[in-house]
């Protein structure tokens, strides 16, 4: 039975959107679970842990998993801050919109471009995981650079076709995949713990083992161009617990987004953090010899297969493939929406083509085509790299940290100008949450001084140069006034008016 108030909410949501200078272009059919599913699928503990567990074994040893709870607390604080802004500005384009309207359109464009470059590379990193760390074990074949490239390219194409043809079906696929991932990860964790305990394969010592990592300087912060071994373990959580803000990028398709979106973001971080840590503990206990496991390119899959046998592990690995596919699907959906939002404001290269909604499919069809083509080009650029996965993982961890830091700073500066809407406010917890978020982001960004991330920095620099060139073109052609956001003056007036009424 449909909710009789949905029509009233829809009318209110459209009126809210009109205050930002936009008309309703896409249907509002995203509910509470679908919004949570988008945020949870982007985080995707199955994807993040399968991708980076091997790197943590080599950089920090099994004891590196204890960095996870700290990273989750830090990212949860960030999610609270971003959720507060998302509740005030329920508009597609998320960080691009927030920075443009609360700071200025030039800074907003820069953050929008950085967000776009992050999404373009992280979708490749995620889909690359299917081809490089899961399918070789699932289908029992020896992966090669060519095969991995071909499988990743096919997965990217399949996701783009689904997104181009139907947003509703894309959400249905994602909802089903997230439900399966939640159930499957719980089942997988329980089975690993029970079977390993029954067979006597559980090694509690692994939880405090450094593996093959040297003990000298293990706990240090490192030098000017290097991070200490244990410190590098934080990248496990930093890479995995990101993308929760993707729910905000579907704000214009969500019912009651001021309330639904921020809660979905925080719930996704909490669910992912708790379930992910228990799974990490289970895998590490059942890992056997962590030194030998660190040499494998598919360590998580190897532990599952060794502990649970080929039949059960096949079913569970199929679940992982579906979860990773959904993660890539949501990332691409988020990137397409950002491309469309910036094109709608006439400030994305070739915006005349990408700002259209297909009258037949009711999706940003052309923006989808652009995004998948760019993703395939990035994949091709990394296809011959022997450490492609680490480079992709590094860039996909660095970029969101930059975005989060800029957004949190924006909130620090502008928070007193944001009116309380009664739907999602930090209240008395605002200051401690901000302290945790700032300390965490400063620490996280400091990790990227390590020389192993030079290729990731190179990607960032190249993409920033491309973006800066186009921004220079926009400023030369239109000037700063030409980059003003739609109905910018009315938004400022609304903020000032509501802030004024809130004062005694």
Residue 356: DSSP 8-state: P
pLDDT of residue 77: 97
Q: What is the tally of structural domains in the chain?
A: 1
The answer to whether position 17 is within a domain reads: no
**222 or 408: which leads in pLDDT:** 408
The answer to whether position 457 is within a domain reads: yes
Q: Tens digits of per-residue pLDDT, 455-478?
A: 888 878 888 888 889 888 888 888
pLDDT of residue 4: 42
State the residue range of the domain holding 318: 38-497
Q: Is the pLDDT of residue 504 over 80?
A: no
Q: Tens digits of per-residue pLDDT, 300-331?
A: 888 988 898 888 878 888 888 899 899 999 99
- Average pLDDT of the residues of the chain: 87
Q: What are phi and psi of 30, to 5 degrees?
A: -85, 115
pLDDT of residue 487: 63
The answer to whether position 14 is within a domain reads: no
The answer to whether position 441 is within a domain reads: yes
CA–CA separation, 438 and 410 (whole Å): 12
Among 266-270, 355-359, 481-485, the range of highest mean pLDDT = 266-270
* Assigned token pair, 364: 């940003």
Residue 298: DSSP 8-state: -
CA–CA separation, 44 and 83 (whole Å): 19
The answer to whether position 74 is within a domain reads: yes
CA–CA separation, 2 and 46 (whole Å): 34
Tell if the pTM clears 0.75, that is, is over it.
yes
For the ranges 19-23, 169-173, 254-258, 432-436, the lowest mean pLDDT is seen at 19-23
- CATH number, domain containing residue 204: 1.20.1740.10
Closest to 336 in 3D by CA, of 109, 163, 125, 144: 163
Share of the chain above pLDDT 90, in %: 48
The answer to whether position 10 is within a domain reads: no
The answer to whether position 427 is within a domain reads: yes
Residues 6+ apart with CB under 8 A from 52: 235, 236, 239, 240, 393
The answer to whether position 407 is within a domain reads: yes
Closest to 312 in 3D by CA, of 428, 434, 410, 190: 190
């Amino acid at each position: 039975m449909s909710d009789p108030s949905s029509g009233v909410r829809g009318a209110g949501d459209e009126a809210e959107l009109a205050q930002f200078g936009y008309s309703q272009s896409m249907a509002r059919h995203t509910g509470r679970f679908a919004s949570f599913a988008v945020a949870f699928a982007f985080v995707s503990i199955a994807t993040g842990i399968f991708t980076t567990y091997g790197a943590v074994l080599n950089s920090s040893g099994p004891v590196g998993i204890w960095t996870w709870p700290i990273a989750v607390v830090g990212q949860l604080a960030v999610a609270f801050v971003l959720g507060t802004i998302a509740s005030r500005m329920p508009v597609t384009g998320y960080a691009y919109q927030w920075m443009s309207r609360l700071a200025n359109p030039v800074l907003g464009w820069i953050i929008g471009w950085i967000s776009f470059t992050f999404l373009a590379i992280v979708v490749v990193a995620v889909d690359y995981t299917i081809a490089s760390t899961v399918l070789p074990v699932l289908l029992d074949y020896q992966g090669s650079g060519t095969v991995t490239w071909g499988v990743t390219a096919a997965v990217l194409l399949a996701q783009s076709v689904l997104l181009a043809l139907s947003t509703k079906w894309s959400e249905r696929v994602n909802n089903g995949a997230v439900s399966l991932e939640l159930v499957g990860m719980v089942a997988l964790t329980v089975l690993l713990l029970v079977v390993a305990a029954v067979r006597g394969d559980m090694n509690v010592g692994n939880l405090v083992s450094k593996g093959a990592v040297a003990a000298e300087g293990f706990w240090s912060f490192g030098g000017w161009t290097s991070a200490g071994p244990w410190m590098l373990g934080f990248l496990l959580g930093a890479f995995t617990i990101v993308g929760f803000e993707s729910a905000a990028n579907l704000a214009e398709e969500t019912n009651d987004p001021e309330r639904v979106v921020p809660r979905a973001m925080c719930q996704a971080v909490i669910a992912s953090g708790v379930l992910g840590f228990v799974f990490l503990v289970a895998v590490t206990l059942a890992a056997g010899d962590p030194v030998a496991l660190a040499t494998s390119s598919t360590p998580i899959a190897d532990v599952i297969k060794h502990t649970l046998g080929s039949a059960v592990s096949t079913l569970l690995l199929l679940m992982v493939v579906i979860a990773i596919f959904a993660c890539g699907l949501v990332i691409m959906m988020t990137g397409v929406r950002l491309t469309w939002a910036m094109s709608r404001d006439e400030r994305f290269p070739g915006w005349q083509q990408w700002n259209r909604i297909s009258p037949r499919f009711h999706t940003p069809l052309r923006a989808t085509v652009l995004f998948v083509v760019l993703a395939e080009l990035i994949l091709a650029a990394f296809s011959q790299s022997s450490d492609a996965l680490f480079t992709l993982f590094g860039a996909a961890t660095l970029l969101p940290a930059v975005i989060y830091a800029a957004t949190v700073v924006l909130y620090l500066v502008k928070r007193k100008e944001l009116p309380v809407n009664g739907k999602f406010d930090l209240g008395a917890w605002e200051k401690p949450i901000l302290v945790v978020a700032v300390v965490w982001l400063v620490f996280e960004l400091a990790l990227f001084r390590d020389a192993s991330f030079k290729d990731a920095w190179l990607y960032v620099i190249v993409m920033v140069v491309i973006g800066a060139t186009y921004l220079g073109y926009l400023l030369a052609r239109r000037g700063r006034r030409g980059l003003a956001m739609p109905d910018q003056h009315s938004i400022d007036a609304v903020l000032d008016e509501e802030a004024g009424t809130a004062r005694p």
